[in-house]
Structure 1
Amino acid sequence: MKIEFAPRNVPLKRRLQTAALLQWVFSFLCLAQISIVTFFVLLFTRFWLVSVLYAVWWFYDYDTPSRGGRKVPFLCNIPVWDYMRDYFPIKLVKTADLDPRQNYIIGFHPHGILVAGAFINFCTGATGFAALFPGLSPYLLMLPLWFRAPFFRDYIMCGGLIPSDKGSASYLLQRKGGGNAVVIAVGGAPEALDARPGAYCVLLANRKGFVKLAMEHGAHLVPVYSFGENEVFDQVENPKGGWLRSIQDKLQSIMGISLPLFHARGVFQYSFGLMPYRRPINTVVGKPIRVEKRETVSAEDLDALHQHYMEELSKLFEEHKANYGVPEDTHLTFI
Structure 2
Amino acid sequence: MEEKKPSSSKEFIECISVLQFIATFLFLGPICVALMVYLMFTSLWILPVLYLSWQVLDWNTPERGGRRTFFVRNWQVWKHMADYFPFKLVKTAELSPSKNYIVGCHPHGIMSLGAFACFGTDRCGFPEAFPGVRSCLAVLGGLFKVPLYREYVMSAGLYPVSKASIEHLLTKSGQGNAVVIIIGGAEESLFSSPGVNTVVMKNRKGFVKLALEYGADLVPVYSFGENDLFRQVVLPDGTVGRRLQALFKKVVGFAPCLFKGERFLFMPYRTPVTAVVGSPISVPKVPSPSQEQVDHYHQQYMEALTKLFHQHKKSCGLAESHQICIT
**TM-score bracket relative to the smaller structure:** over 0.9
Partner of 1:145: 142
TM alignment of 1:1-335, pairs within 5 A: 11-175=8-172, 177-267=174-264, 273-335=265-327
Asked if 1 retains the 8 angstrom alpha-carbon contact of 2:191 and 2:234, the reply is: no
Cα shift at 1:142: 1.1
TM-superposed CA distance for 1:131, in Å, is: 0.6
TM-score using structure 2 length: 0.96
Q: Amino acid of the residue matched to residue 316 of structure 1?
A: L
Q: Show CA shifts across 1:42-72 (max 9, x none).
A: 1111221221221122122111100111111
Counterpart amino acid of residue 279 in structure 1 = T
Q: Which amino acid aligns with 2:133?
A: L
User: Cα deviations across residues 64-109 of structure 1 (Å, max 9, x unaligned)?
Assistant: 1001111111111111111000111000000001000101000000
**How many Å separate the matches in 2 of 1:30 and 1:74?**
23
User: How many angstroms apart in 2 are the aligned matches of 1:177 and 1:19?
Assistant: 37
Distance 1:29 1:176, change over 3 A: closer
Counterpart-to-counterpart distance in 2, 1:136 and 1:70: 18
Amino acid at match of 1:317: F
% identity of equivalent residues: 46
Larger deviation, residues 102-111 vs 324-333: 324-333
- State how far apart, in whole Å, the 2-side matches of 1:159 and 1:177 are: 19
Query: What CA distance in whole angstroms lies between the structure 2 residues aligned with 1:24 and 1:172?
Result: 26
Query: 1:14–1:213: structure 2 CA closer, same or farther, 3 Å change rule?
Result: same
TM-aligned CA deviation for residue 243 of structure 1:
2.6
> Cα deviation per residue 1:130-181 (whole Å; 9 max; x = unaligned)?
1111111111111111111100000001111111111111111113741111
User: SS of the residue aligned with 2:66?
Assistant: coil
- Structure 1 Cα separation of the partners of residues 45 and 310 of structure 2: 57
Tell me which amino acid in the other structure corresponds to 2:132: G
Distance change >3 Å, CA 177–CA 165, structure 1 → 2? closer
Unaligned segments of structure 2, at least 5 residues: 1-5
In structure 1, how many angstroms separate the alpha carbons of the residues matched to 2:173 and 2:41?
47
Partners of 2:278 and 2:133 in 1: CA distance: 15
Structure 1 residue aligned with 2:3: none
Offset, 1:241 = 2.3
- Corresponding residue number in structure 2 for 1:6: none
Unmatched 5+ stretches in structure 1: 1-8, 268-272
Size of the alignment, in residue pairs?
322
Q: Secondary structure at the match of 1:71?
A: coil
Q: Using the alignment, how far apart are the partners of 2:323 and 2:244 within structure 1?
A: 29
TM value normalised by structure 1:
0.94
Cα distance 1:176–1:124, how it changes in 2: closer, same or farther (>3 A)?
Answer: closer
Between the aligned partners of 1:78 and 1:110, the Cα distance in structure 2 is: 25
Runs of 4+ in 1 over 4 A off after TM superposition: none
CA contact (8 A) 2:65 2:173 kept: no
SS, match of residue 324 in structure 1: coil
Distance in 1, matches of 2:177 and 2:309, equals 25
